[in-house]
Each structure stands twice: as structure tokens, then as C-alpha cells.
Amino acid sequence: MFERFTDEARQVIKLAQGNARSLRHNHIGTEHLLLGILEQPDTVSARLVNRHGLDHEQASAAVVRVLGTLPAGDLDADALDSIGIDLAAVREKVEAVFGPGALDRHPSRDRRGALVSGRGIPFTPRAKKTLELALREALALKSRDIRDGHILLGLLREGEGLGARILADAGIDLPTLRVEIRAEMGPSPR
């Protein structure tokens, strides 16, 4: 399915993952997909949501109010500092070799208990459903590609995740937003 995603839609997924990491969440939910959409203010979907009065900063604050963040581990940094180890320097070197957020991931193990590397943050069932519904929305609009707006339509159609709740709590009329997105999307050019 991801081969049908446009660059902007793929970026939504990457930014959703980045938002989950920066908030130190162990999942990618509909709320992270919404943050990924809003982090690209020049896209159709972000412009429409912004026009209704919700931006990335406000949505991120709403996510933190509901889910919080995991502690950063300052006590560990202080303990290491007391024995002469600069955690920031260690983190910088590890991330230079293994990539950003490498120390934030919990090690994964296979069925035999062996360490497995390279696994990302898992999508929640609602986030997976949102992406499936994005495909259905693209097909319904006779679009050859799945665009960022289709992801937002999928999020609205799923309707029960935290992403949709944040939109509704911001006073956005979801049926109106849906009509506006569909009008903007139309079929992709051939």
C-alpha cells in the first residue's frame, strides 16, 4: 500500500513517527498521524485544519494533556555525570552511528529471545485502520495515489481515535471539514 503514497503522505508517516519519538510514546496512534499532517503546513490537509483554528503546536499540547510524555531520565544523566560520563556526548556519538533516537528504542527480541534491531514504533490498531481507510478514500475519489488529505479523511472516517477527538475538541465541525477536504482532493491527474 505504501507504494501508492505520495511524498507528502509518506512524510506524514515519518513525521508521525518522529512526533511519537519526541513525545517518548511507545506507539503511533491517530494523534501522531494528525501531528504528522499538521507539521507540513503547506499541504492541503494542514491548511484546511489550520483554517479551522488548529495548528501543530495546539494539537501537540492536546496530545500531551491526554497522554503525557514518558520521563526523560534526568536522574540517570545526573548519576552518570557524577562519575564523569557526559550522557549528551554519549547520545550524540551513538546517534551519529545508529541514527536519531537510537537510545530511545527498547531492544526487541525474536521468538528465541535474540536481540533484533531496526524495528520501529508500532502503529495502534486505530492508526492502521486510518491508513486502510485512507486507501478507501483515495479509491472512492478515483485517485491513483494516496495523499495527505486521504490520510486526514481516513482519520475522520475512523472517527474514534484521539486524532479525531482532538479535532472535535478544538471546535472543528468534522462533517464540514470532511466535505472541504473531499472538495479539495478530487482525482489525481493522470
Percent composition of the chain: helix, strand, coil (DSSP 3-state, to 5): 60, 5, 35
Q: Looking at 81-85, 112-116, 136-140, which range is the least confident one?
A: 112-116
pLDDT, average across residues 166-172: 92
Residues written for the chain: 190
CA–CA distance, 129 with 138 (Å, rounded to integer) = 14
DSSP codes joined into one string, 42-64 = TSHHHHHHHHTT--HHHHHHHHH
Check whether 15 has a pLDDT greater than 60: yes
| Higher per-residue pLDDT: 172 or 101 | 172
- The pLDDT of residue 75 is 44
Percent of all residues in the chain with a pLDDT value above 90, rounded to a whole number: 33
Which amino acid does the sequence have at 35?
Answer: L
CA dihedral of residues 91, 97, 99, 102 (deg, nearest 10): -50
Residue 5's nearest CA partner among 149, 166, 176 is 149
Residue 12's nearest CA partner among 26, 24, 30 is 30
CATH homologous superfamily, domain 2-69+120-185? Clp, N-terminal domain (1.10.1780.10)
Q: Looking at 6-20, 85-99, 156-170, which range is the least confident one?
A: 85-99
Which amino acid does the sequence have at 118?
Answer: G
Which cell numbers hold the place of 105?
Answer: 528504542
pLDDT band at 105 (very low <50, low <70, confident <90, very high): low
